[in-house]
Amino acid sequence: MAVERPTLRVCALYPTLMNIYADRGNLLMLERRCRWRGIAFELSGAGIGEGLDERADLYYIGGGQDRDQALCAQDLHTHKREQLRTAAQRGAVVLGVCGGYQLLGHDYQLGDEHLPGVGLLDLRTVRGDGPRLIGNVAIEVELPRAGTRILAGFENHGGRTRLGPEAQPLGRVLKGHGNDGESGHEGARSGSVLGTYLHGPLLPKNAWFADWLIESALGLELPLAPLDDTLEELAHADARRAAGL
Ligand code: GLN
């Protein structure tokens, strides 16, 4: 009997509006690492006014300028929040990067403007008066199956994010600013929902994390077969070096 080929279904939210600093590259990285292992890959997009693919294994929201983010926040809250919550409840992976991360929290206060979030992560973001938090960053993360690992990337955000008691940080800042420049926390995680400020591009610089996401989204018991990651390891080492690690 033929064994059915596994398929990773990814749904990108606002792929044109929330798409700065290599968010497209993150999706390509997932695609390539699946295809190289014979795992089929399907990508759908959900823009303003569009519903989500309810069968997706992984939902992705990238980064955005405040202006684009404001457009998406209202739509996300009104049209996609319940679908996204249902997906998270069935264990689908939800990954938000930078602006997308902020929108997974309760809200983002931008001066007089209040952007609602979906409340999947217990956190709030406020646009501070201080400078933007910009630069290369490295964090130490501890994830089920992965143990203690390093993520390296680039951050550029005006918002300061503070975690509530229900959210655990994704990682501990080793170099860079992280969520608010003072807590020592970077990103957040609650079950299968994860958010981070690391752009630049997050997954091509951290191939191990791309694999961890694929394994988690597919609910695999065993790690994926290793690939020749010579170039990926150089990219990771370079990102760590840029952060001063
Ligand atoms: N607009 C948000 C901020 O500046 C997020 C920016 C981003 O996604 N790079 O805080």
Q: Encode pLDDT of 186-217 as tens digits.
A: 999 999 999 999 987 899 999 999 999 999 99
* Higher-pLDDT residue of 102, 129: 102
Q: 5 C-alpha vs ligand 1 centroid, how far in Å?
A: 38
- Between 14-23, 79-88, 141-150, 223-232, the lowest mean confidence (pLDDT) is in 14-23
What would the pLDDT profile of 39-74 be if each residue is shown by its tens digit? Answer: 999 999 999 999 999 999 999 999 988 889 999 999
Indicate which atom in ligand 1 lies nearest the CA of residue 132.
4
Average pLDDT over every residue of 71-94: 97
Average pLDDT over every residue of 212-227: 95
- Tokens at 39, concatenated: 């795992």
Q: 129 C-alpha vs ligand 1 centroid, how far in Å?
A: 14
C-alpha to C-alpha distance for 79 and 83, rounded to whole angstroms: 8
Spatial strand order of the sheet with 193-196 comes to: 40-46, 7-13, 58-61, 93-97, 193-196, 188-190
Query: Percent of the chain scored above 70 by pLDDT?
Result: 98
Average pLDDT over every residue of 237-244: 97
C-alpha to C-alpha distance for 224 and 14, rounded to whole angstroms: 29
Indicate which atom in ligand 1 lies nearest the CA of residue 199.
9
The DSSP letter of residue 154 is E
- Output the pLDDT for position 3: 60
Cα dihedral 197, 81, 114, 104, rounded to 10, equals -20
* Higher-pLDDT residue of 245, 129: 245
What would the pLDDT profile of 153-175 be if each residue is shown by its tens digit? Answer: 999 999 999 999 999 999 999 99
Helix (H) or strand (E) holding 28: helix 23-35
- Tokens at 152, concatenated: 């390296």
- Output the pLDDT for position 1: 54
Indicate which atom in ligand 1 lies nearest the CA of residue 98.
8
Mean pLDDT of the chain: 95
Average pLDDT over every residue of 93-109: 97
Q: Which residues are catalytic?
A: 98, 199
With H, G, I as helix, E, B as strand and everything else as coil, classify residue 243: helix
Query: Percent of the chain scored above 90 by pLDDT?
Result: 90
Q: 4 C-alpha vs ligand 1 centroid, how far in Å?
A: 41
pLDDT of 126 above 70: yes
Indicate which atom in ligand 1 lies nearest the CA of residue 125.
10
Give, in order, the Cα–Cα distances in Å from 130 to each of 58, 95, 152.
34, 27, 24
Q: 33 C-alpha vs ligand 1 centroid, how far in Å?
A: 28
- Output the pLDDT for position 21: 77
Q: 109 C-alpha vs ligand 1 centroid, how far in Å?
A: 12
Residues framing ligand 1 (Cβ under 6 A): 20, 63-66, 69, 98-99, 156-159
Query: Residue 201, preceding bond cis, omega within 30 degrees?
Result: yes
Q: Which domains does the chain have, with CATH numbers?
A: 7-243 (3.40.50.880)
pLDDT of 2 above 60: no
Helix (H) or strand (E) holding 12: strand 7-13
- Tokens at 237, concatenated: 């080492």
C-beta of residue 162 within 8 angstroms of C-beta of residue 188: no
Spatial strand order of the sheet with 113-116 comes to: 113-116, 107-110, 123-127, 159-163
